[in-house]
Amino acid sequence: MRIGLLFDLRNPAQWHRPWADHYARTLEFCEEADRRGIGGLWFTEHHRFEDGYLPQPLTFAAAAAARTKHARIGTSVVVPALRAPAHLAEEAALVDLISGGRLELGIGAGYRVPEFQLFHLPHQRRTTRAGEAVAEVRRLWSEKVVTPLPLQDPVPIWGGFYGPRGARMAGRLGMGYLHISRTMFEHYLTGLGEAGHDVSTARVGDLVPMVLADDPEAAWVRIAPHLAHQKNTYRQGWSEGSGRPKLPWLEPDPASGELRELLDVLTPDQAAQRIRAMTRGLPVEHLIFWASIAGMPDDLMLRHMELLIEELAPLLS
């Protein structure tokens, strides 16, 4: 199991830094995490977020790849339905080459209507279109239609889907599955079997909603306002333009039980115990943790990284 960090590059107004400084600092953090032995650096995608959520994860991944030597470089996730497959094939190949063959290409369906509107693309059939894009990217590489080709053959591709249909599609396409769920894992195995893939090739990863701290209660008080911001922007995006009912707004109150349910702030020993139970019997390759919760303080972010690498990783190994 590799321990990884996920970056969304949010820069909320209430904790805003100059954008160039924010990006430079994040690349320095990636370098430091790589030097200390982090297993993966992952980047995610959204568009039209007021806090500047990272819109082009493979672009930033290329920069991180050039500044690091060892960590796997991943997307969790990029949305192929917003790109031409040839664009995705070329961009991913370049990241793999720049990294020396370290790319892990995670893809998802996307869900926010305004993002599809931004690119003048239909919101319907987005899961099916994501699967079609994976098949086409593989064809473009195998038939050498695009150049240059990635260094890895094959590039590890992961499906970040949460429903039965997406889980089965990930299996049928022979992808890894970016979701730790025993129920969905059975659908994933079904898909592998339907397409004639050896079920022993099943592999799983996921984003783990945990932050590590020496004093979890003290850290929680400082993280809670950042978590409320993060979750409220997701809730707004879920309903915006979709006709779905609006989800209730979360107050940045550390005493909020609802907020507590969305993130665990734990010591490494506590986290290891929960992760062992969560992953038991599953072929987990990647555990991915938020590097930062919506611009949380630097000292918490750095200590979180240190505890992941120096204490949690040895406990899990």
Asked if residue 55 has a cis previous peptide bond (ω within 30° of 0), the answer is no
Residue 135 included in any domain? yes
pLDDT, residue 242, reads 83
pLDDT at residue 311, as a whole number: 98
CATH number at residue 61: 3.20.20.30
Per-residue pLDDT for 171 more than 90?
Answer: yes
What per-residue confidence (pLDDT) applies to 303? 98
Cis status, amide bond into 148, omega within 30 of 0: yes
Tell me how many domains the chain contains: 1
Does 126 map to a domain? yes
Residue 134 resides in a domain: yes
Residue % of the chain over a pLDDT of 70: 100
Q: What is the pLDDT of residue 241?
A: 85
Distance in angstroms (rounded) separating the CA atoms of residues 22 and 10: 9
Which has the closest alpha carbon to 316: 289, 258, 277, 290?
A: 277
Task: Pick the range with the lowest mean pLDDT from 65-79, 95-109, 179-193, 239-253.
Answer: 239-253
Q: How many helices (H) and strands (E) does the chain have?
A: 12, 10
Instruction: Give the pLDDT confidence score for residue 179 in this predicted structure.
Output: 97
- Is the residue at 253 inside a domain? no
Residue 96: CB partners within 8 Å, gap ≥ 6?
Answer: 102, 103, 150, 151, 152, 155
Please give the pLDDT value at position 263. 98
Which tops the pLDDT comparison, 135 or 241?
135
% of the chain surpassing 90 pLDDT: 96
State the pLDDT confidence band at 213, using cuts at 50, 70 and 90.
Answer: very high
Within a domain: residue 239? no
Lowest mean pLDDT among 89-93, 170-174, 236-240, 250-254: 236-240
Is residue 238 assigned to a domain? Answer: no
Is residue 74 situated within a structural domain? Answer: yes
Range of the domain at 181: 2-216+270-316
The span from the CA of 189 to the CA of 206, in Å, is 17
273-315 pLDDT, tens per residue? 999 999 999 999 999 999 999 999 999 999 999 999 999 999 9
Residue 230 pLDDT: 98
Q: How far apart are CA 69 and CA 66, in angstroms?
A: 8
Q: What is the pLDDT of residues 52-106, one digit of tens each?
A: 999 999 999 999 999 999 999 999 999 999 999 999 999 999 999 999 999 999 9
Task: Tell me what pLDDT residue 192 has.
Answer: 98
Q: Estimate to the nearest angstrom the gap between the alpha carbon of 236 and the chain centroid.
A: 20
Report yes or no on 235 lying in a domain. no
Q: Phi/psi class of residue 207: alpha, beta or left (left: φ > 0; alpha: ψ in -120 to 50)? A: beta
Q: What is the predicted pLDDT for the residue at 53?
A: 98
